[in-house]
Amino acid sequence: MSKLVVTSIGPASSVQDGGRPGSQRYGLVPSGAMDRLSLAAANALVGNDLFAAAVEIGPFGASFTARGGAVRVALAGASRNADIGGRPVAFDSSATLAEGETLTLGFARGGSFSYLAIEHGIEGEPMFGSLAVNARAGLGSPYPRPLQSGDELKTQAASGALERRIELPAATDAPIRIVFGPQDDEFAEDNKKLLVDSEWNISATSDRMGYRLEGPVIKHLDGHNIVSDGTVNGSIQVPGNGQPIVLMPDRGTSGGYPKIATVITADFGRFAQISAGRPFRFKAVTMAEAQAEAIKFHELLRSLPDCLRGIEDFGLNIEALRDANVAGQAVNAVDVSTWQVALP
């Protein structure tokens, strides 16, 4: 049996998979990956089920060492410097660590979370059908807490399959799309307009339970308490201080603050990747538009295996490259007639 040993890791890093859908009615928090597209892409690269458990790595660096044999891995999500024994490793691609080799990852760039998938998956005992970690609830496997130095992630030996890369849609800084409701009637129209017309930042005090937003104060019409009702990923609650909180996968299953709007499914992972202090905006869309985007997002997830390419396939048109003069005006160093300019 092979294993990947955590040799160093920062906070906010844990084992996550597709979560525990369908049990919120019983008070069970869904948890799961913050960015489902990146989790699915990493798993596709090593031939796993798209929502198999992987390591969700927070903004800080980490390193992992292969023990007991070779381990094949893949990286997706927020990019960062990565190398195996000094050999650079590209994101959105797979790579194999030989016995004793170490994968070293730097700080995240342009996002908050990266995903390290391991071929054949991570061995653990499912808790309510999932390995996803929720540290507050003491749920998850093989460790029901954030990962620490010395932890061991057991798996099967690398298959020796050819390495692959995956072509994903280009990143965008477009506004995060929301649907107003379900309690937007608790807010005056000018405050709803304030939500979409303002620039916002993610507070450094945010976590997997909720992202606190820094920006203008959103005022309620008649107080901030309502009868508690269900929440979903992306619910935007407005507590008494008027500073919105976007609920994330480790949220409570219900809440008693009015929810002015909800981040649409297709944009939730992109929202989760926004780094603390990086400004962003919201854009309101209709329910029909949100549903259409959700369908497109799930079609993208299903198509990921078709987006795989061999690591050596760079898509070059060899015929065109051979016929092109890519060097510009060619000269011959030993033939002065090709480079010496005649005087008038």
pLDDT in tens, 16-46: 999 999 888 889 999 999 999 999 999 999 9
Q: For residues 38 and 315, which has the higher predicted lDDT (pLDDT)?
A: 38
Q: Which of 133, 142, 153 is nearest to 65 (CA)?
A: 153
Site of tokens 């976007």: 246
Average pLDDT over residues 113-128: 97
Q: Which of 120, 3, 161, 149 is nearest to 70 (CA)?
A: 3
End-to-end Cα, the chain, rounded Å: 78
Q: Provide the 3-class DSSP secondary structure of residue 97.
A: strand
Q: Which of 298, 226, 301 is nearest to 260 (CA)?
A: 226
Q: Which residues face 273 on adjacent strands?
A: none
**Is a pLDDT exceeding 60 seen at residue 343?**
no
* pLDDT score for 317: 46
Where do the domains of the chain lie?
Answer: 2-166, 176-285
Q: Which of 89, 74, 82, 87 is nearest to 105 (CA)?
A: 82
Q: How far apart are CA 41 and CA 37, in angstroms?
A: 6
**Is a pLDDT exceeding 60 seen at residue 207?**
yes
**Is a pLDDT exceeding 70 seen at residue 325?**
no
- What pLDDT, in 10s, does the model give residues 152-184? 999 999 999 999 999 999 889 999 999 999 999
Q: What are the b/e assignments for 132-171, b being 16+ CB within 10 Å?
A: bbbbeeebbbbbbebbeeebebbbbbbeeeebbbbeeeee
* pLDDT score for 226: 87
252 pLDDT tier (thresholds 50, 70, 90): very high
Task: Please provide the CATH number assigned to the domain covering 176-285.
Answer: 2.40.100.10
**Is a pLDDT exceeding 60 seen at residue 339?**
no
* pLDDT score for 335: 53
* pLDDT score for 332: 54
Bin 138: left if φ > 0, else alpha if -120 < ψ < 50, else beta. Answer: left
331 pLDDT tier (thresholds 50, 70, 90): low
Q: For residues 200 and 342, which has the higher predicted lDDT (pLDDT)?
A: 200
327 pLDDT tier (thresholds 50, 70, 90): low
**Is a pLDDT exceeding 50 seen at residue 271?**
yes
Q: How far apart are CA 117 and CA 53, in angstroms?
A: 7
Q: For residues 12 and 321, which has the higher predicted lDDT (pLDDT)?
A: 12
- What pLDDT, in 10s, does the model give residues 236-248? 999 999 999 999 9
**Is a pLDDT exceeding 50 seen at residue 316?**
no
Q: What is the mean pLDDT of the chain?
A: 91
Tell me how crowded residue 185 is: count the other CB atoms within 10 A of its CB. Answer: 12
Label residue 70 exposed, middle or buried (CB < 10 Å: 0-12, 13-18, 19+). Answer: middle
Q: Which of 154, 278, 259 is nearest to 214 (CA)?
A: 278
